[in-house]
């Protein structure tokens, strides 16, 4: 791992997986771009800005409750 690389917990990878599964078969409005590209891009910006992992996880999940059947209770159970 490079000297200034930050290690992330399994919770971040769990958030990526949950977001990808939740947004499966969704596309960005008016395009054929998979929806998951958006939360991954936002998370990437925050990682490059060296934001805390909790903020990166929030970015990954920010549209899950609004746009998928996943409930806020499910997110709280897994991510606090």
pLDDT of 75 above 70: yes
Domains of the chain plus CATH, in order, are: 10-79 (1.10.3210.10)
| Residue 6 vs residue 31, higher pLDDT | 31
Encoded tokens for 70: 């996943």
**From residue 41, how far is each of 22, 47, 48, 76, 79 by CA, in Å?**
16, 10, 11, 23, 20
pLDDT of 2 above 80: no
Which residues are known to be catalytic?
A: 66-67
Q: What is the per-residue pLDDT across 40-73, written as a single tens digit (0 to 9) for each? A: 999 999 999 999 999 999 999 999 999 999 999 9
Q: What is the pLDDT of residue 21?
A: 96
Strand locations in 14-75 (E):
none
């Amino acid at each position: 791992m490079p000297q200034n690389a930050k290690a992330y917990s399994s919770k971040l990878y769990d958030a990526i997986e949950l977001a990808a599964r939740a947004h499966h078969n969704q596309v960005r409005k008016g395009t054929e771009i998979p929806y998951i590209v958006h939360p991954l891009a936002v998370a990437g910006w925050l990682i490059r800005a060296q934001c805390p992992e909790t903020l990166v996880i929030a970015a990954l999940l920010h549209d899950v409750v609004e746009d998928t059947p996943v409930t806020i209770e499910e997110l709280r159970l897994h991510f606090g």
